């Protein structure tokens, strides 16, 4: 009995030991310590990376087997786990195979912008697609919460912030942003050459839509190779996108107005090219550097022209000493962001000028504003005005333009008529043969001459005849 009782006691002790031991382990100092979030994040990241690598290998195999629908599913899952540029390239490659040319170019150009260094030789499809003529298309710049997934027509195309605006084919599209279980969507109607700005904020479930302002980029590089130029342009693109502007390059603008290619050193020509391109601003850059090694002194001259005003809004001349290309690009990017902010805050009003005679030229200094009747925005402040018309004394004066107000000016040049007006107002002379008084005088002269001739031919002997018997 004692042995049986002892065995029961040992069994109960074992049960209690198994029940209590886990709690003792949990209450130990090591167990009580909180897990390192960095370790947890690293483990999760490594797991996601491994899974994404498996999915990419499976997607490449599916492409070879021409299982294109399965390829997209694998690539979408891989991009959601780890949105790297390799997956972005494969999404573009899939679009290129499926002959979705505009979507392929959209993905390829962001892949090229995000990739460090040049494109590898085996990625010849990227270069080929970027140089092919595009069907009618437009762009959409998206500003929103970092890390948001971007889908167009339910196909994944990237993650915010995008390195370039979306390139979309002409027609109707649906843009969706996904982040942390939230889903926002906005419908777009794209026309050829249209530009849209989509803004998303944490506080709203909606996406605001507006026309995206354009920034015409006219750089002048001296002594820079292709890699350095690409880094500078990426810095300008990023600063412009952060301010809500879509960048239009020189070649794109000259495609609309090729006749302006030879005069882009003049302000009037730069303004005109910006106006024809539909740009809000024209950004000029002249860059020079000493070229002594990788670190050299850079001289940067930047000007921002307000197309509506037709004048420089702000200029900057930052000096970057002992600069690498990366540092020079960062300096340019920061300067462009500051200039766009300053230009947007510069006060302006509106100037309205009419003249008699009309079609007179209006100048502010050496800068021609236009021809009367004229109405256009102008910087606030005192402005010297000169109005000229051929053959008449010019008008010279100064007017005060107040912010957010319109100032009107009526100018009368000379006596208020031009040579053309005087010609039009001069009565037309009637031909001589249509004037009555000429015929009357002629009749008198002819009649008198006839009477004189008759009297002269009458015989004088007749004068002595006595007719009365």
Which pLDDT tens digit goes with each residue over 289-316?
776 556 788 889 999 999 999 999 999 9
CA pair distance 456, 78, nearest whole angstrom: 129
Which DSSP state fits 191? -
Q: Give the HSE-up count for residue 250: Cα atoms under 13 Å, Cβ half-sphere.
A: 15
**Domains of the chain and CATH, by start:** 135-212 (2.60.40), 215-345 (3.40.50.10610), 348-424 (2.60.40)
Tokens for 87, please give them: 């997956």
Which pLDDT tens digit goes with each residue over 436-466?
555 556 555 555 555 554 445 445 444 443 3
Tokens for 125, please give them: 């499809």
Average pLDDT over residues 2-24: 47
CA pair distance 418, 257, nearest whole angstrom: 34
Confidence bin at 193 (pLDDT 50/70/90)? confident
CA pair distance 206, 466, nearest whole angstrom: 131
SS (H, E, C) 280-309: CEEEEEEEEECCCCCCEEEEEEEEEEECCC
Which pLDDT tens digit goes with each residue over 205-218?
899 999 999 999 99
> Is cis: bond before 357, omega within 30 of 0?
yes
| Per-residue pLDDT at 381 exceeds 70 | yes
| Per-residue pLDDT at 194 exceeds 60 | yes
Mean of the per-residue pLDDT values of the chain: 82
Average pLDDT over residues 51-74: 93
Q: Is 392 helix (H, G, I), strand (E, B) or coil?
A: coil
Alpha helix ranges (H) inside 82-167: 85-97, 101-114, 124-130
């Amino acid at each position: 009995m004692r042995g049986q009782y002892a065995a029961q006691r040992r069994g109960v002790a074992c049960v209690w030991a198994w029940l209590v031991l886990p709690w003792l382990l949990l209450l130990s100092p090591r167990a009580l310590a909180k897990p390192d979030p960095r370790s947890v994040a690293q483990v999760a990241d490594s797991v996601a990376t491994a899974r994404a690598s498996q999915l990419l290998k499976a997607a490449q195999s599916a492409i070879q087997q021409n299982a294109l629908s399965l390829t997209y599913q694998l690539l979408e899952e891989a991009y959601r786990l780890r949105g790297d540029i390799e997956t972005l390239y494969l999404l573009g490659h899939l679009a290129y195979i499926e002959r979705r040319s505009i979507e392929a170019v959209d993905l390829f150009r962001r892949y090229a912008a995000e990739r460090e260094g040049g494109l590898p030789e085996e990625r010849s499809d990227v270069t080929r697609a970027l140089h092919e003529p595009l069907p009618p298309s437009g762009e959409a710049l998206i500003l929103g919460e970092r890390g948001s997934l971007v889908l167009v027509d339910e196909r994944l195309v990237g993650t915010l912030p995008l390195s370039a605006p979306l390139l979309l084919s002409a027609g109707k599209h649906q843009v969706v942003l996904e982040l942390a279980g939230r889903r926002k969507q906005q419908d777009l109607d794209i026309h050829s050459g249209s530009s849209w700005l989509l803004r998303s904020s944490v506080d709203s479930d909606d996406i605001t839509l507006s026309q995206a302002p354009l920034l015409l980029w006219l750089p002048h590089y001296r002594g820079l190779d292709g890699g350095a130029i690409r880094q500078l342009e990426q810095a300008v693109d990023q600063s412009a996108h952060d301010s809500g502007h879509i960048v239009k390059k020189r070649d794109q603008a000259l495609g609309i107005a090729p006749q302006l290619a030879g005069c882009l050193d003049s302000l009037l020509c730069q303004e005109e090219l910006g106006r024809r391109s539909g740009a809000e601003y024209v950004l000029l850059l002249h860059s020079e550097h000493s070229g002594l090694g990788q670190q050299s002194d850079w001289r940067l001259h930047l000007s921002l022209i307000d197309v509506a005003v037709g004048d420089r809004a702000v200029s900057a001349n930052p000096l970057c000493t002992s600069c690498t290309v990366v540092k020079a690009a960062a300096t340019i990017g920061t300067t462009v962001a500051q200039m766009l902010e300053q230009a947007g805050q510069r006060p302006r009003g509106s100037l309205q000028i009419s003249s008699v005679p009309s079609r007179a030229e209006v100048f502010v200094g050496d800068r021609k504003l236009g021809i009367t009747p004229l109405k256009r925005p102008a910087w606030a402040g005192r402005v010297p005005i000169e109005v000229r018309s051929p053959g008449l004394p010019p008008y010279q004066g100064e007017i005060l333009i107040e912010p957010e107000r319109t100032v009107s000016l009526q100018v009368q040049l000379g006596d208020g008529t031009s040579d053309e007006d005087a010609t039009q107002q001069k009565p037309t002379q009637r031909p001589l043969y249509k004037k009555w008084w000429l015929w009357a005088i002629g009749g008198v002269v002819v009649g008198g001459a006839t009477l004189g001739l008759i009297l002269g031919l009458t015989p004088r002997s007749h004068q002595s005849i006595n007719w009365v018997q």
